Each structure stands twice: as structure tokens, then as C-alpha cells.
Structure 1
Amino acid sequence: MADSRQDPPDSSPDAGMPVSRLPERGRVVCHGHIESVTYMPADQNAAFTAIVSDPDIRQSGAKRAQGKGGRLRVVWLGRRRVPGIAAGTEVRLEGMLSQSHGLPTMFNPRYEILSRQENE
């Protein structure tokens, strides 16, 4: 008899791959947690930047300390804020991946908020 259970969301192709398994370039779908965000001053061009990492790296900085992958820079050009994007938020991203200043970078990706960290 075949098992009719569905795979958990993290292992389905729609959830995307973890940030640490991204290729160097190309169109990708990935998921991770927002580690930090950067707001640009009013006198500079509008851009909103976030660093996305794998959940395991966010909890144990071991890979990051060794200089390994697992981090992605996401940049929304022409925007000073992106609703729902804040540190601790789990997101699914889709877009073109490139390399910029030594980090994999995605500009103006499509995004879906998967969960948010509760502060209370």
C-alpha cells in the first residue's frame, strides 16, 4: 500500500531550498530567517536590505564563525521599508541570485512571510 501522507513544508519543492544550499547564480526559490535589516538614511538612495540565514545558523553561529555559506543579502531598491520584513521573520524568497561584495545577493525578490517571531 502506498503512503498518502504529504511531505512537511520544509521538504517540499514549493518551500524552496535552505540558504546554505544556494547555487552561485540563477533563478532560485529559498527560505530562511531574517537575521538583520538595514535602513538607509533619508539623504541616500532608497533601499531596504535584509540578511537572511538558515534557522540552524541563526541559533548556532558556528558556520558563520568559520566563514561558510548560509547567508543571503536581500535588497529591495526604491523602498525604505518592506511591510512584514523584520529580524526573526521566516520568509520564502524567489528571484535572481547574483554575487555582490562576497555575499549571495537577491534584488527585489518576491517574498512570502511564513512566520513571525513573537516578542512578548
Structure 2
Amino acid sequence: MTQTKAESAAQPGARSWLSRTLQKLTADDRTVEAQELRSDAAIAGCSAVSACRKGQVVTVTGRIKSVVYTPRETVPTLEAELFDGSGSVTLVWLGRRRIPGIEPGRRLTARGRFAAFEGRQVIYNPWYELSAG
């Protein structure tokens, strides 16, 4: 038995697809990017930054929003803000001035112990994997 468009649209799954499509068409770019990043994280089995707690070893994935080199008197640091759609975490590499491929706009997956420093969420010296494209 075949269904008409009206019958299939009356099904709950069809409504959610239609409302998701309409929402995506009317949403601003940041909202769409955040939704895509949250979806990518869920598919990859990564934790959402907003769900991470201090002391946990976590794997997060997202897009690098900014990269800052901070020369310090003791140890230079390279900091990258990683946004996953639910929140941001600062990835901090101690003793590094530059890491090839760590640049704004790049997608990456990072693993390490989640911490808090000066009111920021951070992961120090994370293992990381750059995504293609």
C-alpha cells in the first residue's frame, strides 16, 4: 500500500524532518554550525564539552575558533579554543610556539584530562588528531 504525501507528512518522523529542515533553512550560520558540530560529536562517540567535568579523561571534537601563542617567562604556551556546538574548551600545549595544522577553522579531535584554570575549561597537552578538509 502506498502513502500519499499528506499521509506521510502526518507521521511523527516526517514532521520532525520537516521542522528540522525548516529550522535549518531559517537559522543563522552559527546555529547551523553548532548543530552540525554536535551531530558530528555524537556520531564520533565524543563527549559534549558542556557535559565534561573536571578530572575526567575526555575525547572532544569540534572546530578551532582561535589560536594564541603566549610567550611567558617560564614556559611558552600555545592555546587553541575548540568549539563543539555545546561549548568551548581551551587546548593548551606547554612549551610549544607553533604546531603545524593547528589553525582557526580546522576540525580536530582531542583527548586528555579536563581541567579548570582561571575560570576556563582546559585540556593540557592533549593528544590530538586533525580532520581532513
Give the drift of 1:19.
Answer: 2.1
CA contact (8 A) 2:80 2:91 kept: yes
Which residue pairs with 1:33 in the alignment?
Answer: 63
Letter in 2 for 1:84: G
1:20 to 1:42, Cα distance in 2 relative to 1, 3 A: closer
| Cα distance in 2, alignment partners of residues 109 and 76 from structure 1 | 7
- Where in structure 2 are there 5+ consecutive unaligned residues? 1-38
Alignment counterpart, residue 45 of structure 1, candidates 71, 75, 95: 75
Which residue pairs with 2:115 in the alignment?
Answer: 98
Letter in 1 for 2:57: R
1:38 to 1:44, Cα distance in 2 relative to 1, 3 A: farther
Q: Given the alignment of the two structures, is residue 16 of structure 1 paired with residue 46 of structure 2, yes or no?
A: yes
The one of the two structures with greater contact order (alpha-carbon pairs below 8 A, sep at least 6) is 1
Q: TM-score scaled by structure 2?
A: 0.61
Q: Which 4+ residue blocks in structure 1 deviate beyond 3 angstroms?
A: 41-44
Sequence identity percentage: 31
Give the drift of 1:83.
Answer: 1.4
More strand by share: 1
Alignment counterpart, residue 88 of structure 1, candidates 79, 98, 105: 105
RMSD of the alignment, in Å?
2.3
- Where in structure 1 are there 5+ consecutive unaligned residues? 1-7, 58-69
Q: TM-score scaled by structure 1?
A: 0.67
Letter in 1 for 2:99: V
Total equivalences in the alignment: 95
Of structures 1 and 2, the larger Rg is shown by 2
